[in-house]
Chain A
Amino acid sequence: MSAGATRAAVEAVWRIESARLVAGLARLVRDVGVAEDLAQDALVIALEKWPESGVPDNPGAWLMATAKRRGIDLLRRDVMLDRKHAQMAHALEQQQEPSPDENVDGVQDDLLRLVFTACHPVLSTEAQVALTLRLLGGLTTAEIARAFLAPEPTVGQRISRAKRTLTQANVPFEVPSGAELAPRLGAVLDVIYLIFNEGYSATAGEDWVRPGLCEDALRLGRVLAQLMPREPEVHGLVALMELSASRLRARLGPEGQPVLLADQDRSRWDRVLVRRGLAALELAERLGGARGPYALQAGIAACHARARTAQETDWERIVACYDALAQLTSSPVVELNRAVAVGMAYGPAEGLALADQLLDAPALRSYHLLPAVRADLLARLGRVDEAQEELARAASLTRNTRERELLLDRARRLRPGG
């Protein structure tokens, strides 16, 4: 096998195996940082050996055995210096490799522990995101840096600092229980959704969407749904992401410019994802989670998915979802979306009255969508001058090039010849 072909095969195996590998090692050594280093070492050894020996029949087991051997060697060297390392080496030695068939539950438990450790509250949100993509998504530092438009060394430092923080804080490798579970799960869901959103509408840069990042987040969400099948909000989040992703390819015009929901060609919506999203929403509701924040947002997305044309959208039902969501979150962004929905259901004057109440909200002071929404409502009321001003203001606030062009174009088209 050529070096290039082996590298591609190793990367493929890595994508499939890395999370399970790191999770299994972390259970043994009780330190996510050490586990990840050992897994990376095994990857490097695979890249050296596989071009000659070929990819083994069970690459996952090969990587695990190699990582453990490597760990024992490395940690033994430190035995006299550090009792903790001696314990780690002992754990690696003792553990008999169970066959993959009988160990499915064990692997699932390990993965779940890894999810909660990567999203532990001692870490900043940025660190949680980077660590989740790295440890669970199997992304390289370079891939994460590219996705978030951050310099690679910054992301590398962020990841190693995060691993060190977890070790120093003695964060246990476990799934929280009891009253602790709900808020911790909420944080896990928020991290996955944040990754999805960065792919769905990039906050900055040249590209408005990065479908690869959406795919990664969706994959993580689906994995989590399999790990926690009884948690309605997990299915709510998956439903929201599947339904939003179903519109991805209709959100871009031929030149890569954004296309707004009302203008999208609905025949381009992805029916496979729509069906999957509606099924996940139904599951969330059946599990009693219809009023969860992600299920409510998925309910809104479902209203769009079910409408064959923009005119057929059930805006009143969407308003009802936003009412419930606003009570749950008291977020000004939710209030702004509610204003849009009210504007569609009950007329622009009603919507504008709600949007105007948000003008003093500190969280929205530099949020470009507030003037964009007001512009739309003002234009529908025939107040074209004000609408144009608001669009120009929105354009000056967004950091995304494509979105700025769209806003300026809308401003130009408000007045024929203007």
Chain B
Amino acid sequence: MRFMVIVKATEDTEAGVLPTTEELAAMGAYNEELARAGVLLAGEGLHPSAKGARVVFSGDSRTVIDGPFAESKELIAGFWLIQAKSLEEAVEWAKRCPSPTRGESQLEVRQVFEAEDFGEELTPELRAQEDRLREQTGSSGSSGSA
């Protein structure tokens, strides 16, 4: 199974405060631990939402809203993609992370959907449709397009 461990944004990350050398070293050691255990698949940090944009869908209309966005706690500042046997194992790995941001911080652990998870609700027709969509968008499906 795969899990995405999401780093929630804080006022600091949104303000673009960069980590200190010590903080970078601690995070580097943690990343190395994940890699040494063979569980780390990918991971990235994100720029503040000031450098991002939102595309809002309503019916046929598409509206683009430039960042920054309010409610920083709902935003994400980075992620890891890890391979684990269970939610508990993913949580156990998340607990070992050095405090990801200054002050109070949060990691959220979410399981990545695999096609198998949809079970019988995903009929062969729907699956074919989804595959067509993926082909058009060039995405690789549940693993993301990274």
Contact = CB atoms under 8 A, between A and B. Distances in A.
Interface stretch (B48-56, B69-77, B135-143): B135-143
Interface residues of A, number: 30
A271 B145 contact: yes
A215 B83 contact: yes
A381 to B, nearest CB: 33
Interface in A156-207: none
B144 interface: yes
Interface in A290-347: none
Given A15-B85, A16-B89, A16-B92, A226 B35 contact: yes
A16 B41 CA distance: 16
Given A11-B88, A12-B91, A249-B115, A268 B41 contact: no
Interface string B107-146: 0000000111000000010010001001100111101111
Contact of A271 (B29, B37, B85, B143): B143
Contacts of A269: 140
A142 to B, nearest CB: 14
Interface on chain A toward B: helix, strand, loop, or mixed SS? helix
B84 to A, nearest CB: 8
Contacts of B38: 218-223, 226
Contacts of B65: none
A326 to B, nearest CB: 31
Contacts of B91: 12
Nearest to A100: B33
A8 to B, nearest CB: 4
Given A219-B83, A254-B127, A272 B89 contact: no
Contacts of B116: 249
A8 B86 contact: yes
B88 A223 contact: no
Nearest to A255: B124
Contact of B131 (A227, A265, A270): A265
Most buried by A among B127, B134, B143, B144: B143
A71 B119 CA distance: 48
Contact of A11 (B35, B86, B114, B131): B86
A223 to B, nearest CB: 4
Contacts of B143: 270-273
Contact of B88 (A8, A215, A265, A268): A8
B36 interface: yes
A189 to B, nearest CB: 15
A96 interface: no
A313 to B, nearest CB: 18
A256 to B, nearest CB: 10
A13 interface: yes
Contacts of A272: 41-42, 81, 140, 143-144, 146
A410 interface: no
Most buried by B among A12, A221, A275, A276: A12
B39 interface: yes
A154 interface: no
Contacts of A15: 84-85, 89
A226 B36 contact: yes
A254 B124 contact: yes
Interface string A1-34: 0000000110111011000000000000000000
Given A249-B115, A268-B134, A272-B146, A16 B127 contact: no
Contacts of B141: 267-268
A15 B37 CA distance: 10
Contact of A12 (B36, B42, B88, B127): B88
Contact of B37 (A16, A101, A267, A275): A16
B58 to A, nearest CB: 29
Contacts of B140: 267-272
12 contacts: A8-B86, A11-B88, A12-B86, A12-B89, A249-B115, A267-B141, A268-B140, A271-B140, A271-B143, A271-B144, A272-B140, A275-B146
5 smallest A-B Cβ distances: which pairs? A222-B38, A12-B88, A219-B38, A271-B140, A12-B89
Given A12-B86, A12-B88, 20 more contacts: A8-B88, A9-B88, A9-B92, A12-B84, A12-B89, A12-B91, A12-B92, A15-B89, A219-B38, A219-B39, A221-B38, A223-B36, A227-B36, A249-B114, A265-B135, A267-B141, A271-B140, A271-B145, A271-B146, A272-B146
